């Protein structure tokens, strides 16, 4: 039923049908007449969507260039879907045509001539063709090469990878079909068992694994994969101090491995100061192509790393650790906390432990973070010594403008000085030595030590304390009482008070017993030395100036002129020789016993060498002062000897004398 308003629509529809029918008839007619004419038919169109979620279909075809402009009409199942001057056309996939088999073709109109592509029966919904892989990144995993590119859809794809060694372009491509993995909108494939110290050329195409009739995407451009950078750059560092700023000059060797540098190498410099957010610091992260660079850092501790980077990844890091550079003579901070945070200022508190800076325990308060300033300040601990740094940005370079030692709050030391010992004690003094209290136990600035001594023996003496410099590690206690016992204590003192004290007891040496023993010793030594001296002197004297007797009968001596004692004896013998004239001679046999003994002594003496006899007498310690006695004895002995046993006497002289005597005696008898 047509209403009045419906009429025009009906008319239009009828007209349309008629014209299409007319067109078809015309087309059939023209194709028949154009056979063998100049029109070259375009290729049959290829229609696909870019991924399985897409509803727009792209239809592409090709046609060898003909003169003049060409217009193409796209037909699906006898329905003209549009006309274009390009070799592609996008259609909206509607439910009618999508799911079923359809015939597709293209008609080309060049002036008065037209030609038609071959027809092709397809089911559009199954046709998926991805875009060529883009932004391919690569990295080496040992000898495996990982290739990553943008995913066409959330489903994994099948990839075809062509690869060959970079330096061998005549070599044919190797081909691998690999199912990709998908992660974070990226496709990844891993080519195993390549050589990571060689460069490669790689090309990839991929296709859907979801669609029934997937089409291969176009090939990606050929990408060059450089060899892996295996070694960190060899960096040499020179640091120059510029009044609060450190200029760190870094130079390193260029990467010489051509395979690794095939697509260029850059170097990345990073420093840890930038992460603190101190002023200027964010400017210090750089990429350079040269083999040297200068980085400006403050006096705060910093780690600088240099990495070589190529398309396939980066080398290991060359890490340069620069410790904090505290001033030589650090002072105690003056009211840093009360100072207001200036613009472009950064404050740092380094925890000090055992005189070491602990960069991991650093509190940084940068200007930008002023919101958290209160929290940061609250994290500074009481009783902990910090090295305080203040940095500014000066001419684009970070500069340390202040360094000092800081306590948020001081307390008394929590430990005593260590290894408190007495090194030597005398009568009235003692040397003490100790080691400092560890910094974390000081809990404040030790202003001095308090050294106290208390004499134990007598109750009336009281505790005596003195303040000694905090820089001392030894002390000599003087004016002590000899032989006394003292309790000594030593404690570190901060402005908040005194800490626990190290204690020890000392005993001074007693005075008197020592003196008596010393006197005894000295006396003994004196006695011994004097005795020795006399003996030695005597010997020397006897040797150099032997006693010279006045020879009475020098003519008798044909030999042994040096035997002086002999001479003396002979003289006496003469006297004796005279004496036998007296009646005493007869009485001799009465004291035979004594005389034999004496004679024996004398005889032995005479048998021996004269020198020996002399030395013997000296050895016995008889002094020359006693000579009268000895001469007496000698006189006597010799006298008796003569009388009793004259024949046995060797001495020629004596013999002569006695023989005369005997002769005389015999004659008298
Ligand atoms: C274009 O011409 C070349 C040879 O000249 C032929 O191989 C090719 O198939 C032609 N392409 C089309 C779409 O007709
Ligand atoms: C390389 O791939 C092979 C085979 O999948 C594997 O056995 C090997 O562990 C891989 N190497 C590395 C370094 O990932
Ligand atoms: C990819 O995965 C599919 C299904 O999981 C499997 O049938 C096919 O053989 C795989 N292809 C390759 C090259 O591994
Ligand atoms: C170093 O810096 C201080 C300010 O922090 C400045 O007073 C001084 O003149 C500077 N010295 C030199 C040599 O630049
Ligand atoms: C520098 O590196 C070492 C070791 O990796 C680390 O212990 C230290 O905290 C780092 N220093 C700075 C200032 O980051
Ligand atoms: C030692 O120093 C303290 C201050 O810590 C002071 O009060 C005291 O008088 C000093 N003692 C001596 C003996 O100087
Ligand atoms: C002296 O020191 C000892 C041990 O250190 C202690 O037992 C003694 O009580 C101390 N004497 C005084 C008077 O402090």
Confidence band for 422, pLDDT divided at 50, 70 and 90: very high
Higher pLDDT, 9 or 399: 399
pLDDT score of 605: 38
Tokens of 628: 């009268």
Q: How large is the average pLDDT for residues 479-500?
A: 92
Residues enclosing ligand 2, CB less than 6 A? 141-142, 144, 192
Higher pLDDT, 357 or 43: 43
**CB contact at 8 A, 180 and 188:** yes
Q: Which has the minimum average pLDDT: 271-285, 413-427, 624-638?
A: 624-638
Q: Has residue 65 got a pLDDT over 60?
A: yes
Tell me whether residue 230 is in a domain.
Answer: no
Same domain, yes or no: 568 and 663: yes
Same domain, yes or no: 569 and 662: yes
Confidence band for 653, pLDDT divided at 50, 70 and 90: very low
Tokens of 440: 């974390």
Nearest to 91 by CA among 121, 130, 46: 46
Distances (CA, A) of 516 to 65, 247, 522: 135, 74, 10
Tokens of 603: 């005889």
Same domain, yes or no: 585 and 570: yes
Q: 74: exposed, middle or buried (C-beta count within 10 Å: 0-12, 13-18, 19+)?
A: buried
**CB contact at 8 A, 130 and 149:** no
Give percent above pLDDT 90 in the chain. Answer: 31
pLDDT score of 178: 95
Tell me whether residue 582 is in a domain.
Answer: yes
Q: What is the pLDDT of residues 275-317, one digit of tens each?
A: 666 766 555 568 888 889 998 889 988 889 999 999 999 999 9
Q: What is the pLDDT of residues 110-166, one digit of tens each?
A: 878 888 999 989 888 888 999 999 999 999 999 999 999 999 999 999 999 999 998
Same domain, yes or no: 425 and 374: no
Total domains in the chain come to: 7
Please tell me the number of the ligand nearest to residue 192's CA: 2
Nearest ligand 5 atom to the CA of 302 is 13
Tokens of 340: 């207001």
In short, whether 493's Cβ falls inside 6 Å of ligand 6 is yes
Tokens of 316: 């290991």
Final residue before a domain boundary, out of 91, 112, 128: 128
Report the residue among 139, 140, 192 best suited for mutation to probe ligand 2: largest number of ligand atoms under 8 A from its CB.
Answer: 192
Q: pLDDT averaged over the chain?
A: 76
Same domain, yes or no: 571 and 649: yes
CATH of the domain at 503: 2.60.40.10
Tell me whether residue 435 is in a domain.
Answer: yes
Rounded distance from Cα 303 to ligand 5 centre (Å): 6
Same domain, yes or no: 570 and 642: yes
Nearest to 364 by CA among 378, 352, 381, 376: 376
Nearest ligand 6 atom to the CA of 498 is 5
In short, whether 395's Cβ falls inside 6 Å of ligand 4 is no
Contacts of 628 (CB under 8 A, 6+ apart): none
Tell me whether residue 540 is in a domain.
Answer: no
Distance CA 438, CA 592 (A): 97
Confidence band for 92, pLDDT divided at 50, 70 and 90: confident
Distances (CA, A) of 390 to 163, 244, 343, 418, 633: 56, 10, 12, 34, 109
Residues enclosing ligand 5, CB less than 6 A? 272, 301-303, 321, 359-360
Closest residue (by CA) to atom 14 of ligand 4? 243
Tell me whether residue 543 is in a domain.
Answer: no
Strand ranges (DSSP E) for 151-234? 157-165, 174-179, 181-183, 186-191, 200-208, 213-215, 223-225
By three-state DSSP, how is residue 96 classified? Answer: helix
Rounded distance from Cα 334 to ligand 6 centre (Å): 24
Closest residue (by CA) to atom 13 of ligand 2? 142
Same domain, yes or no: 72 and 154: no
Cα torsion through 624, 625, 630, 632, rounded to 10: 130
Nearest ligand 7 atom to the CA of 504 is 5
Maximum average pLDDT range among 63-67, 302-306, 642-646, 661-665: 302-306
In short, whether 243's Cβ falls inside 6 Å of ligand 4 is yes
Same domain, yes or no: 570 and 656: yes
Confidence band for 546, pLDDT divided at 50, 70 and 90: low
**CB contact at 8 A, 128 and 211:** yes
Rounded distance from Cα 490 to ligand 7 centre (Å): 14
Distance CA 351, CA 380 (A): 9
Please tell me the number of the ligand nearest to residue 451's CA: 6
Final residue before a domain boundary, out of 407, 431, 447: 407
Q: Has residue 185 got a pLDDT over 80?
A: yes
Rounded distance from Cα 149 to ligand 3 centre (Å): 19
Sheet of 174-179, strand order: 174-179, 157-165, 200-208, 223-225
Residues enclosing ligand 7, CB less than 6 A? 454, 456, 487, 503, 505
**CB contact at 8 A, 211 and 127:** yes
Tell me whether residue 52 is in a domain.
Answer: yes
Same domain, yes or no: 123 and 149: no
Please tell me the number of the ligand nearest to residue 210's CA: 3
Q: What is the pLDDT of residues 551-575, one digit of tens each?
A: 555 454 444 444 444 444 444 444 4
Same domain, yes or no: 83 and 106: yes
In short, whether 179's Cβ falls inside 6 Å of ligand 3 is yes
Final residue before a domain boundary, out of 322, 346, 369: 322
Rounded distance from Cα 499 to ligand 2 centre (Å): 63
Tell me whether residue 399 is in a domain.
Answer: yes
Got the DSSP string for 360-392? EEEEEEEGGGGGGHHHHHHTSPTT-EEEEEEEE
Cα torsion through 62, 65, 70, 74, rounded to 10: -10
Distance CA 386, CA 653 (A): 110
Helix (H) or strand (E) holding 106: strand 101-110
**CB contact at 8 A, 468 and 490:** no
Tell me whether residue 367 is in a domain.
Answer: yes
Same domain, yes or no: 213 and 277: no
Distances (CA, A) of 350 to 298, 336, 366, 647: 14, 14, 14, 115
Domain that holds residue 360: 336-407
Same domain, yes or no: 120 and 137: no
């Amino acid at each position: 039923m047509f209403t009045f308003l419906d009429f025009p629509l009906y008319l239009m529809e009828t007209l349309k049908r008629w014209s299409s029918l007319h067109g078809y008839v015309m087309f059939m007619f023209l194709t028949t007449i154009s056979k063998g004419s100049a029109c070259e038919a375009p290729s049959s169109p290829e229609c696909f969507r870019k991924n399985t979620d897409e509803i727009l279909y792209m239809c592409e075809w090709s046609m060898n260039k003909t003169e003049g402009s060409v217009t193409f009409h796209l037909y699906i199942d006898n329905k003209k879907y549009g006309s274009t001057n390009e070799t592609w056309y996008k259609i909206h996939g509607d439910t009618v045509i999508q799911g079923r088999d359809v015939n597709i073709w293209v008609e080309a109109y060049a002036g008065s001539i037209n030609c038609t592509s071959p027809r092709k029966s397809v089911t559009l919904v199954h046709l998926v063709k991805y875009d060529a892989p883009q932004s391919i990144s690569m990295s080496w995993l040992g000898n495996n090469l990982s290739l990553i590119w943008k995913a066409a859809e959330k489903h994994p794809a099948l990839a075809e990878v062509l690869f060959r060694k970079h330096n061998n372009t005549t070599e044919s491509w190797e081909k691998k079909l690999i199912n990709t993995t998908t992660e974070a909108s990226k496709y990844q494939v891993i080519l195993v068992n390549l050589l990571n110290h060689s460069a490669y050329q790689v090309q990839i195409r991929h296709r859907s694994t979801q669609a029934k009739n997937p089409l291969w995407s176009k090939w990606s451009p050929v990408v060059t994969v450089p060899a892996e950078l295996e070694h960190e750059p060899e960096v040499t560092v020179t640091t120059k101090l510029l009044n609060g700023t450190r200029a760190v000059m870094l130079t390193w060797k260029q990467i010489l491995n051509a395979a690794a540098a095939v697509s260029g190498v850059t170097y990345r410099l990073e420093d840890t100061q930038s992460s603190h957010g101190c002023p200027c610091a964010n400017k210090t992260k750089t990429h350079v192509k040269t083999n040297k660079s200068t980085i400006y850092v403050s006096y705060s501790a910093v780690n600088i790393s240099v990495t070589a980077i190529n398309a396939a990844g980066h080398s290991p890091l060359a890490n340069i650790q620069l410790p904090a550079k505290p001033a030589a003579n650090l002072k105690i901070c003056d009211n840093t906390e009360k100072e207001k945070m200036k613009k472009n200022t950064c404050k740092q508190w380094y925890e000090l432990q055992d005189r070491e800076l602990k960069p991991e325990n650093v509190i940084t308060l940068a200007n930008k973070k002023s919101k958290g300033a209160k929290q940061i300040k609250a994290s500074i601990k009481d009783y902990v010594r910090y090295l305080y740094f203040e940095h500014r940005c000066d001419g684009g370079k970070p500069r340390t403008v202040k360094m000092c030692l800081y306590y948020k709050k001081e307390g008394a030391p929590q430990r005593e000085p260590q290894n408190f010992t007495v090194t030597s004690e005398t009568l009235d003094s003692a040397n003490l030595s100790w080691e400092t209290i560890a910094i974390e136990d000081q809990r404040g600035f030790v202003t001095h030590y308090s050294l106290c001594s208390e004499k134990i023996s007598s109750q009336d003496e009281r505790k005596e304390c003195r303040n000694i410099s905090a820089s001392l590690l030894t002390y000599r206690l003087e004016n002590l009482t000899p032989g006394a016992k003292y309790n000594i204590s030593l404690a570190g003192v901060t402005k908040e008070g005194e800490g626990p004290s190290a204690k020890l007891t000392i005993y001074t040496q007693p005075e008197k017993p020592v003196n008596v023993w010393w006197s005894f010793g000295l006396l003994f030594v004196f006695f011994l030395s004097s005795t020795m001296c006399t003996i030695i002197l005597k010997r020397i004297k006897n040797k150099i100036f032997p006693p010279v007797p006045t020879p009475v009968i020098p003519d008798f001596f044909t030999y042994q002129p040096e035997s002086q004692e002999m001479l003396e004896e002979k003289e006496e013998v003469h006297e004796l020789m005279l004496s036998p004239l007296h009646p005493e001679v007869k009485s001799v046999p009465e004291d035979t016993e004594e005389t034999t003994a004496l004679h024996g002594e004398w005889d032995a003496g005479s048998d021996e060498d004269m020198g020996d006899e002399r030395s013997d007498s000296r050895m016995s310690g008889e002094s020359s002062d006693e000579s009268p006695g000895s001469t007496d004895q000698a006189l006597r002995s010799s006298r008796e000897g003569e009388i009793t046993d004259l024949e046995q006497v060797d001495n020629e002289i004596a013999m002569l004398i006695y023989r005369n005597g005997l002769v005389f005696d015999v004659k008298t008898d």
